[in-house]
Amino acid sequence: MPMTFAPADADALPLYLVAADQFEDWVADQADATRKWLEAQGFSGALGAACLVPGADGAPALALAGYGTAAHRARGRFALAAAAMALPAGTYRLQSDLTGDALDQEALGWLLSAYAFDRYREQGGSVAQLVAPEGVDAKRIEAIAAGEALTRDLINTPSSDMGPDELEDAASGLATEFGASFDVIKGDDLLTQNFPMIHAVGRASTRAPRLIDMRWGDTGPKLTLVGKGVCFDTGGLNIKPGASMGLMKKDMGGSATVLGLARMIMALDLSVQLRVLIPAVENSISGNAFRPQDILTARDGKTVEINNTDAEGRLVLADALVYGAEDKPDLMLSMATLTGAARVAVGPDIAPFYSDDDAVAAAITAAAGRVGDPVWRMPFYEPYEAMIEPGIADLDNAPKGGFAGSITAALFLRRFAGDTARYTHFDIYGWQPASAPGRPKGGVGQGARAVLDALPEALGL
């Protein structure tokens, strides 16, 4: 099903959104036949419940979607999406008292419920369509849904079909769609053009490493998005155990998320000078793989001691961040599936982020609440800087001890973000471990919708 709204003039069935604690009042105003039907069906407004009510001729006359209680809604997102999954195929017109952010969230959730990753087999997204509710900016909601679908598709695709070549193709296709410029530095050209750490991480693979560079827009503040594009991560010579390698197709989730965000920005024609940088590599094992105790030199001359080849994401991001900072953006933002420590700290749903600008951080936090895209600000805690300084080189890519792993990774990245750029980093998971309304099990965007909503305040648009 398309992740778009039905035409406004569609013949649509009224869909009443009824909360559990308001159901008795609502049903008291209905015809006797409707009350008896709902009683027989056991419908009481429970969260995610759905019911069709027949008219005198036996055909559906209206539909109901349960909205649960405030306490139940607080424990999840996209309550209407749960009902959308339970409704039969058809077109519906929402009848509710929702307005503003709450209405926008539920309308988006409905569109997201139609998502299904069906590249390899048919899957079961919602087959019900919704007319855009009055008061909803349909173009914006559809653009957000399309960007999220792109992110999910990229993450869900296995590495056999989503290596650096295919990731480049996806970014190139997006650039073509929106008239953006596109450039790629590939293979040994990374060395001649001074991206040594991207090359070092990706050189062991049969699929050449590269730096993808897309630019769009020529007016407004400069916004640079940097996404980790590790298309598969074996761990390198510090090879991962099998259980840890099982989900490594999603290690390019940062690049998938910034491409999804870029799609939203371009589709909405925001007044920014957008740049997307993606170091795309596969961290593999062969005779020329980089080794523990190697010392690599980054694009800006900083030296990095390798104490774990499985901490490779920060290495490829470092060269890209240096390159991005050379352009002096007004805001530079990186997204990466970077550390297990972040998952231990906040679990799979919350996207922890770091920012050296309080105004940007406040804008993102406020936006996350409005759009239902949970984030949590973490500290660039400077007393931990010593943990990433090994002595033999400028920096250590994998401090020993295991403490504060997400913080030390963020501090490492900040060393390469330049002195002039406001810098924000997201340590995302990029995966929905169990199906939820609007979010089937599999790849998922995190932080992108919050950033999109925060951009007007963060950049003064």
What pLDDT, in 10s, does the model give residues 252-277? 999 999 999 999 999 999 999 999 99
Predicted pLDDT at 420: 67
Look at residue 270 in the predicted model and tell me its pLDDT. 98
d(CA 77, CA 405): 29
pLDDT of residue 28: 95
Instruction: Tell me the pLDDT tens digit for each residue of 206-230.
Output: 999 999 999 999 999 999 999 999 9
Task: Say which of 207, 215, 275, 314 is annotated catalytic.
Answer: 314
3-class DSSP assignment, residue 181: strand
Span 295-352, pLDDT tens digits? 999 999 999 999 999 999 999 999 999 999 999 999 999 999 999 999 999 999 999 9
Instruction: Check residue 126 and give its pLDDT.
Output: 83
From 73, 240, 302, 370, active-site residue: 240
Query: DSSP secondary-structure letter at 1?
Result: -
Residues 6 or more apart whose Cβ sits within 8 Å of residue 347: none
pLDDT of 421 > 70? The answer is no
Q: What is the mean pLDDT of residues 166-192?
A: 98
Q: What are the pLDDT digits (tens) for 339-391?
A: 999 999 999 999 999 999 999 999 999 999 999 999 999 999 999 999 999 98
Tell me the average pLDDT across 110-124.
94
Judge contact between 260 and 151, C-beta under 8 A.
yes
Tell me 80's DSSP state: H
The residues, ordered by sequence, that sit 6+ positions from 250 with a Cβ below 8 Å of its Cβ are 155, 337, 430, 431, 443
Q: How confident is the model at residue 118 (pLDDT cuts 50, 70, 90)?
A: very high
193 touches 237 (CB < 8 A): no
240 is catalytic: yes
Q: How many other CB atoms sit within 10 Å of the CB of residue 139? A: 13
Here the tokens at position 293 are 């105790």
The strand pair at 431-432 and 442-443 is best described as: antiparallel
**Residue of 402, 362, 404 whose CA lies nearest to 380:** 404
Question: Following DSSP, what letter does each residue of 359-376 receive, concatenated?
Answer: HHHHHHHHHHHHHT--EE
- CA–CA gap between residue 204 and residue 283 (Å, rounded): 7
Confirm if 373 and 449 have CB atoms less than 8 A apart: yes
Average pLDDT over residues 130-145: 97
Per-residue b/e over 162-185, b at no fewer than 16 CB within 10 Å?
Answer: bbbebbbebbbebbeebebebebb
**How far, in Å, CA of 345 to CA of 338, rounded?**
13
Helix ranges (H only) for 87-130 are 100-113
Question: Residue 419's pLDDT is what?
Answer: 81
pLDDT digits (tens, 9 = 90+) for 64-103: 999 999 999 999 999 999 999 999 999 999 999 999 999 9
Burial of 220 (0-12, 13-18, 19+ CB in 10 A): middle
Spatial contact of 227 and 334, defined as CB atoms under 8 Å apart: yes
| pLDDT > 80? residue 1 | no
C-alpha 85/C-alpha 436 separation (Å) is 11
Q: For the chain, which domains are there?
A: 13-127 (3.40.220.10), 143-459 (3.40.630.10)
What pLDDT does residue 125 have?
81
Is the per-residue pLDDT at 418 higher than 80?
yes
Q: What percent of the chain has pLDDT over 70?
A: 99
